[in-house]
């Protein structure tokens, strides 16, 4: 019969598979190991679509550069006078749209990251999100309190909503994102305005060439939406929602 000649062949084939499978699995594991270990000495994301700008020899020199802009009396004068109403109005429109999409409500506890003089905080309070505050290296009471976004001065799971348009100012983008995820409540929403197709200002510490590295940095959140915006030199809005289940 035909089957009697096939059976021994099949048997030896199965034997071969069962012997080689453990080796295959072992080699796969060995091959994966090097890529899954990231050096603690490189806090910057190595992905090429996120490029760190050269010129910051230390964290101190980075802070000094940021303070130069934040404390510039001419800029501060413009921010608090000529710029004020227009920016509060435009931020108010952005936030109203987020409200309509149920990503923000009057009851949200909200944080604006890198808020300088706090136009976005004024906009939030103006549309009824009264429990909102900003952080920046230089405080501007009562809207903005002192805080470095690389190490937010808040407990875990504090906010329902966080907004920022200063991702490009982060010297340690991974830390910037990790701090947002740490201080957001489960189910909390993070809205970022970033520049993808154009370059941002001379105070930027990084340049983003696609959303990929940014999305990969969010470990416990999912993307809610991405859309084009015209946000004071920033062209893309990305909205994340922190997952409800603790996964870390």
Ligand X SMILES: *[C@@H]1O[C@H](CO)[C@@H](O)[C@H](O)[C@H]1NC(C)=O
Q: Closer to ligand X by CB, 1 or 100: give it.
A: 100
Cβ count near 152 (within 10 Å): 22
| Binding residue for ligand X, selected from 20, 38, 42, 106, defined by CB under 6 A | 106
Q: Is 72 in the site for ligand X (CB under 6 A)?
A: no
Please give the Cα distance from 121 to 163 (Å, whole number): 10
Length of the chain: 248
Interface characters, 113-152, with ligand X (x: CB under 6 A): ---------------x------------------------
Q: Closer to ligand X by CB, 35 or 246: give it.
A: 246
Shortest distance in whole angstroms from residue 48 CB to ligand X: 27
Q: Closer to ligand X by CB, 12 or 156: give it.
A: 156
Shortest distance in whole angstroms from residue 102 CB to ligand X: 11
Q: What is the DSSP string of the chain?
A: -HHHHHHHHHHHHHHHHHHHHHHHHHHHHHHHHHHH---TT--S---TTEEEPS---SHHHHHHHHHHHHT-HHHHHHHHTTTHHHHHHHHHHHHHHHHHTTS--TT--EEEET-TTTHHHHHHHHTT--SEEEEESS-BTTTEEE-BTTB-SS-SS-EEEEEES-GGG-SSHHHHHHHHHHHEEEEEEEEEEE-SSS---TT-SEEESSSHHHHHH-SSEEEEEEEEEEETTEEEEEEEEE-SS---
Q: Is 156 in the site for ligand X (CB under 6 A)?
A: yes
Q: Closer to ligand X by CB, 69 or 182: give it.
A: 182
Shortest distance in whole angstroms from residue 207 CB to ligand X: 27
Q: Closer to ligand X by CB, 76 or 182: give it.
A: 182
Q: Is 42 in the site for ligand X (CB under 6 A)?
A: no
Shortest distance in whole angstroms from residue 21 CB to ligand X: 38
* Binding positions for ligand X, 214-233, rule CB under 6 A: none
- Residues 233 and 200: beta-carbon distance below 8 Å: yes
Q: Closer to ligand X by CB, 117 or 129: give it.
A: 129
Shortest distance in whole angstroms from residue 185 CB to ligand X: 12
Q: Closer to ligand X by CB, 52 or 124: give it.
A: 124
* Binding positions for ligand X, 171-190, rule CB under 6 A: 182
Binding residues for ligand X, rule: CB under 6 A, are 106, 128, 156, 182, 248
């Amino acid at each position: 019969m035909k089957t009697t000649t096939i059976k021994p062949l099949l048997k030896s084939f199965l034997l071969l598979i069962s012997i080689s499978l453990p080796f295959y699995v072992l080699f796969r594991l060995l091959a994966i190991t090097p890529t899954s270990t990231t050096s603690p000495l490189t806090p910057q994301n190595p992905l090429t679509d996120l490029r760190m700008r050269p010129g910051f020899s230390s964290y101190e020199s980075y802070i000094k550069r940021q303070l130069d802009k934040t404390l510039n009396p001419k800029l501060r004068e413009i921010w608090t006078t000529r710029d004020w109403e227009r920016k509060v109005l435009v931020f108010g429109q952005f936030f109203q749209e987020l409200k309509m999409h149920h990503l923000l409500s009057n009851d949200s506890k909200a944080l604006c990251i890198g808020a300088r003089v706090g136009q976005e905080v004024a906009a939030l309070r103006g549309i009824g999100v009264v429990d909102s505050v900003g952080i920046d290296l230089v405080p501007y009471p009562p809207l903005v309190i002192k805080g470095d976004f690389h190490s937010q001065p808040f407990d875990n799971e504090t906010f329902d909503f966080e907004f920022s348009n200063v991702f490009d100012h982060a010297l340690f983008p991974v830390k910037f994102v990790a701090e947002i995820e740490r201080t957001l409540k489960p189910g909390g929403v993070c809205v970022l305005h970033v520049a993808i197709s154009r370059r941002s200002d001379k105070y930027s510490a990084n340049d983003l060439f696609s959303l990929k590295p940014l999305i990969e940095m969010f470990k416990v959140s999912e993307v809610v939406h991405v859309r084009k915006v015209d946000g004071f030199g920033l062209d893309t809005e990305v909205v994340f929602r922190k997952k409800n289940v603790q996964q870390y």
